[in-house]
Amino acid sequence: MTVSAIEYTRLGPPKLRLYAMRCSSCGKLSPWWEKNHCYECGGGDLTHEELAGGGEITNYTVVYYPPRDFLGQEPYVVGHIQMDEDVLLPAPVVDVAPDDVEVGTRVTSTLRRMKLGHEGDIYYGHKFVVE
Amino acid sequence: MAQIVRYGAYLPRHRISVKEIQDFYGRPGRPRSRTLATPGLDEDPLTMAYEASVATIGHDGAELGALIVASQAPPFGLRKFSATLARALGVSGADHFDLGAHPAGLLDGLALADALVAAGRGPVLVVASDHLVAYEERVADMLSAGGAAAFLIGGDGGVAELGAERRASEEVFDVWRLGTEPEARYRLEVLFGTYGAVAKTALAALEEATGRPAGDYASVAASQPHPQTLRALGRLGVGKEQLAGTSFVGEIGNLGTASAGFALALALDAAEAGQHVLAFGYGGGEGIAREIEVTAATPDSGAAGMIEGQAISLSTYYRWTRGRQVEPH
Ligand SMILES: [Zn+2]
């Protein structure tokens, strides 16, 4: 799976809580934006499940020319995080120099500002910091 | 009296050299602080409050009766900071209260938590989190830093007991703001004078209540908007050694409402069972002094290790300060 620098911002408003969706058919977790479709079996009955926040970087890229909402924070890392609960989430990895990140680095979630909406609503969501 | 059951602290890791800022703006004089603890552009008092809260109660707030947040710089107005923090923490059953506009808000929060616990509405999480956004080349900006501290107050099972509290206040204009104007007005000489005056009155009243003079506490955890205010405590019988482990304004700047809280976390980390700590909050002409008795071995919040941080460049600091003015934090 490749990492897209802007993929994360296209996933809709981020959330105050970090969670994933548990499939009632096969029991697998899918990312939080999958409300009606299990990644594993295609099942349509999914329920919220909170994540503890720990995970590991499986892939990442360094963003030097960020989308508008992240201007001023460059350069920063966007990675795919394999959560301990066995679900893959894309997210920024912050407060770390890009050189200090590698595949396999342990990370933990942290609440951060994601963007200011065009009508002034502040979107918070979970980024990750190196453990 | 209620007890401090657990506590936690958070400092953003970025440090900007105050000398570099002064050099850039051509401001003369010795820097009042070596660096400023500067939140990243994606941090604000809510995210820092979240960090200090998670450090204190983890991800489990199910038992909380109430959540009190003190901040002078909530990221938004006309809605509750504490309500959003409660949602972020997954706390659904607790009442939430905001305390604003006062750098000694943590001490107000502890007083309210004490009463709530006595009324059976605890345990209470009291969080102080602040970052007064810096503007350019003003004296107050040269000390404007961010941080947070949180204290879980309950009826039993704690590591320290909230003791007597005494207050003193004078009607002065030292640091204030009119309405919603973005920049603080300040008269440093009034701040220094009033800080010393109300501390003197409050500490004398506390000594009368407890029989313990200020010099007899193991340490003193004080609001420290400016290094000069710590010297005012020295003139009231507080020894250098009582402030040595709790002073940071000269290293990382003024943490606003979080100042007394971060100092208290440092004091508790270093304290042993049986010792007494003096917490002193100051803001807007009011001083609040509270005795805290350490009753058990305290866990290490790691606060002392957060002070060092990592240097950022002047250009990064400038970009973030600009960013905060464009999109208010
Ligand atoms: Zn499934």
Cα–Cα distances in Å, from B165 out to B66, B207, B257?
21, 10, 18
| Among the listed residues B43, B259, B50, B30, the one whose alpha carbon sits nearest the alpha carbon of residue B144 | B259
What average pLDDT does range B196-221 have in this prediction? 98
Nearest CA to B216 among B162, B277, B265? Answer: B277
- The answer to which of A8-17, B74-83, B95-104 has the lowest mean pLDDT is A8-17
Centre of ligand 1 to C-alpha A42, Å, is 6
What letter represents residue B307's amino acid?
I
Considering only CB atoms, B40 lies closest to which of A52, A94, A124, namely: A94
DSSP 3-state assignment of A24? coil
Mean pLDDT check: name the lowest of B158-162, B183-187, B204-208, B241-245.
B183-187
pLDDT bracket for residue B58 (50, 70, 90): very high
Helix (H) or strand (E) holding B227, with range, is: helix B227-234
- Compare CB distances from A72 to B59, B88, B319 and report the shortest one's residue: B319
Q: What is the DSSP letter of B123?
A: -
Q: Decide if pLDDT at A35 tops 90.
A: no
CA of A29 to the centre of ligand 1 (A): 8
Residue in A with minimal Cα distance to B86: A16
- Does the pLDDT of residue B260 top 60, yes or no? yes
Residues with CB under 5 A from ligand 1 (ion): A 23, 25-26, 38, 40-41, 43
Residue A47: its pLDDT value, please?
96
Question: Helices B188-210 and B227-234 sit at what angle, rounded to 10 degrees?
Answer: 40
- Stated as kind and residue range, the H or E segment containing A56 is strand A54-63
What's residue A13's pLDDT?
Answer: 55
- Percent of chain B clearing pLDDT 70 (strictly above): 97
From the list A16, A52, A116, the residue facing B87 with the nearest CB is A16
Phi first, then psi: give them for residue A52, nearest 5 degrees: -75, -25
**pLDDT value of position B1:** 83
Does the B163-294 domain belong in CATH 3.40.630.30?
no
pLDDT band of residue B26 (cuts 50, 70, 90) is confident
Q: How many CB pairs (< 8 A) connect A and B?
A: 51
Interface of A with B in 39-98 (CB under 8 A): 50, 52-53, 71-73, 94-95
Task: Inform me whether the C-beta atom of residue A100 falls under 8 Å from chain B C-beta atoms.
Answer: no
Residues 6+ apart with CB under 8 A from B86: B61, B67, B92, B94, B96
Instruction: Judge residue B28's burial from the number of C-beta atoms within 10 Å of its C-beta, 0-12 exposed, 13-18 middle, 19 or more buried.
Output: exposed
Distances (CA, A) of A120 to A115, B77, B327: 9, 12, 9
Candidates B40, B50, B327; nearest CB to A111: B50
Determine the pLDDT at residue A5. 54
CATH class of residue range B3-159+310-326 = alpha beta
| A window 18-47, beta carbon within 8 A of B | none
CB contact under 8 A, A52 and B59: yes
Query: How far does the CA of residue A61 sit from the closest CA of chain B (Å)?
Result: 19
Amino acid letter, B72: Q
Residue B57 forms beta bridges with which residues? none
Q: Indicate yes or no: CB of B42 within 8 angstroms of CB of A127.
A: yes
**CA of residue A59 relative to chain centroid, distance:** 12
The domains found in chain A, sorted by start residue, are 13-130 (2.40.50.840)
Q: How many CA atoms, within 13 angstroms, populate the side-chain half-sphere of residue A47?
A: 4
Q: Report the separation in Å between the CA atom of A27 and the middle of ligand 1, taken as the mean of its atom positions.
A: 6
Above 80 in pLDDT, residue A100? Answer: yes
Contact present, B148 and B129 (Cβ < 8 Å): yes
Complex ipTM value: 0.91
CA of A80 to the centre of ligand 1 (A): 21
Which chain B residues contact residue A91 at CB under 8 A?
none
Do A53 and B47 make contact, defined as CB atoms within 8 angstroms? no
* pLDDT-based confidence at residue A44 (cuts at 50, 70, 90): very high
Distance from CA of B320 to the nearest CA of A (A): 7
Per CB-CB distance under 8 Å, the chain B contacts of A110 are 47, 50-51
A61 token code pair: 């890229």
Mean pLDDT of B165-191: 91
- Best residue of B42, B133, B325 to probe chain A, by most A CBs closer than 10 Å: B42
In chain B, CATH 3.40.47.10 sits at 3-159+310-326, 163-294
